[in-house]
Amino acid sequence: MIRPVAPEDAAAVCGIYNYYIENTAVTFEEEPVSVSVMESRINGVTAKYPWLIYEEAGEVLGYAYIHAWHERPAYRFTAEDSIYIKHGKTGRGAGKALLARLLEEARKQDVHVLMAVIAVPNEASTGLHEKFGFRQVGCFPGVGYKFGRRLDVGYWELMRDRPCN
């Protein structure tokens, strides 16, 4: 089941996200996030954009949201997506279902361009986004640093009404 985030989801969302902070380079955060910080982030995002929860049998298995690409007014029709699936529960279609629904919600928000910012390599995320028509439009080598190594960041873009030349 996919549904909007609720305040009581903050702890489950933290559990999912903190695994990625502590064990992977897919997020560049380095310190676990507290439930209160996650509640604040959820409130900030949902003031304008959708935040979705993927749930099975009452267990939160993943989440996805869009948020402002940049704060300046000229970027108001561009957003960035984030998708996280609980460790050990990937590869079962939750990410695909969340991204499909997130794209529907983005259209309702009048988002013209949706960006995916992905630490690479990350075949799961790049493959998921490319299945939905995102295409890589840039790569920034070595801009991140985590776990004692330099990390690249790729940018994928999905443009709603017209492709780039």
Asked, for residue 90, whether it belongs to a domain, the answer is yes
Asked, for residue 65, whether it belongs to a domain, the answer is yes
Asked, for residue 100, whether it belongs to a domain, the answer is yes
148-152 LR contacts (CB < 8 Å, sep 24+): 149/25, 151/25, 151/28, 151/119, 151/120, 152/119, 152/120
Nearest Cα neighbor of 38 from 90, 80, 82 is 82
Per-residue model confidence as pLDDT tens digits over 109-121: 889 999 999 999 9
Q: Please tell me whether residue 62 adopts helix, strand or coil conformation.
A: strand
Strands (E), 26-163: 51-56, 59-68, 78-85, 113-120, 135-146, 149-159
Asked, for residue 134, whether it belongs to a domain, the answer is yes
Per-residue model confidence as pLDDT tens digits over 132-147: 999 999 999 999 999 9
Q: For the chain, what is the domain count? A: 1
Asked, for residue 165, whether it belongs to a domain, the answer is no
Beta-carbon contacts of residue 150 (< 8 Å; ≥ 6 apart):
141, 142, 144
Q: Is the pTM of this model over 0.85?
A: yes
Asked, for residue 26, whether it belongs to a domain, the answer is yes
Asked, for residue 164, whether it belongs to a domain, the answer is no
- CATH code for the domain in which residue 11 is found: 3.40.630.30
- Domain of residue 78, residue span: 2-159
